[in-house]
Amino acid sequence: MRPLVAGNWKMNGLSASLAELGSLQDGLAVLGLRLGSDVLVCPPATLIAQAAWKVAGGAVALGGQDCHAKDSGAHTGDISAQMLKDSGASFVIVGHSERRQHHGESDGEVAAKAQAAWRAGLKAIICIGETQAPRYAGDANQICGKQLDGSVPGGATPANTVIAYEPVWAIGTGKTPTSADITAMHAHIRACLVRRLGKGGREMPILYGGSVKPDNAGEILNLPEVGGALVGGASLKASDFLSIIRAISGS
């Protein structure tokens, strides 16, 4: 299966940042047939419609960073999955650890958001990952298994869902798990998905996220059961993001 390299701009980016998308498009055009992955950028919701004009006809897909669990209604300040779709998104990230930590999102809410994404015709990127303490205590597998069970609705298929394993302690810190730890966790996630979803769980992409940079992307993306990367900081600059994409494409 073709890997997915997804960029999460988080709360960064103004209209001027769309120039980076233009540079990204140009870089991908140069790669041409050597491009070995699908490419997704999740800018702030305010930029998706403009970004959609910018990337039209090119290799870059767009996604939102969160959506509400309801389709519409009295939810001041929130954004529905349908609105993201209408703006030009085809994916949405749900359950990012920054949403879980700063907005108190539970596994159940994340599952409801994933279902809202599907209703709108978006693919849900469902994030899970342990914090530092359970990692040290040897409880990472159990924590991530529980998050998967609670956050991934029963109707999940490889066509509507991508899983992102992002150890919270690795996000924005420059720290990454060892290759052995990433391999072990991705194998665990795969086993949990197969147990819950059967054949669909066998084929569902599992991205790694957390301090993916141009210099470690090649190694991480070659590990078994790693189906791509969710990239924060290093997705903001087209040159860095392209280096990651090139590392995966082997060119």
Taking the complex as a whole, how short is the minimal distance between the CB of residue 209 and ligand PGA, in angstroms?
Answer: 4
Structure tokens at 243: 């280096």
103 is catalytic: no
The greatest distance separating any two alpha carbons of the chain, rounded to the nearest whole angstrom, comes to 49
d(CA 118, CA 209): 22
**Is residue 64 involved in binding ligand PGA (CB under 6 A)?**
no
**Is residue 231 involved in binding ligand PGA (CB under 6 A)?**
yes
Exposure string for 107-127, b = 16+ CB within 10 A, e = fewer: bebbbbbbbbbbebebbbbbb
Q: Site size for ligand PGA, by CB under 6 A?
A: 13
Please, are residues 100 and 110 in contact by the beta-carbon 8 Å criterion?
yes
96 is catalytic: yes
Distant-in-sequence, close-in-space partners of 238: CB < 8 Å, separation ≥ 6: 20, 21, 22, 23, 24, 27
The smaller minimum CB distance to ligand PGA, of residues 39 and 197, is found at 39
Out of 8, 37, 115, 243, the only residue in the binding site for ligand PGA (CB under 6 A) is 8
The smaller minimum CB distance to ligand PGA, of residues 22 and 172, is found at 172
- Region from 99-107, 117-125, 143-151, 231-239 binding ligand PGA, contact rule CB under 6 A: 231-239
| Catalytic residue of the set 68, 96, 186, 188 | 96
The smaller minimum CB distance to ligand PGA, of residues 8 and 151, is found at 8
Binding residues among 147-186 for ligand PGA as defined by CB under 6 A:
166, 171-172
**Is residue 232 involved in binding ligand PGA (CB under 6 A)?**
yes
DSSP state of 120: T
The SS3 call for residue 78 is: coil
The smaller minimum CB distance to ligand PGA, of residues 69 and 230, is found at 230
**Is residue 5 involved in binding ligand PGA (CB under 6 A)?**
no
- Region from 73-81, 138-146, 178-186, 224-232 binding ligand PGA, contact rule CB under 6 A: 224-232
**Is residue 211 involved in binding ligand PGA (CB under 6 A)?**
yes
How far CA 171 is from CA of 19, 63, 136, 212, in Å, comes to 25, 19, 16, 9
The smaller minimum CB distance to ligand PGA, of residues 86 and 181, is found at 181
Which residues of the chain form contacts with ligand PGA (CB under 6 A)?
8, 166, 171-172, 209-212, 230-234
The catalytic site residues sit at: 96, 166
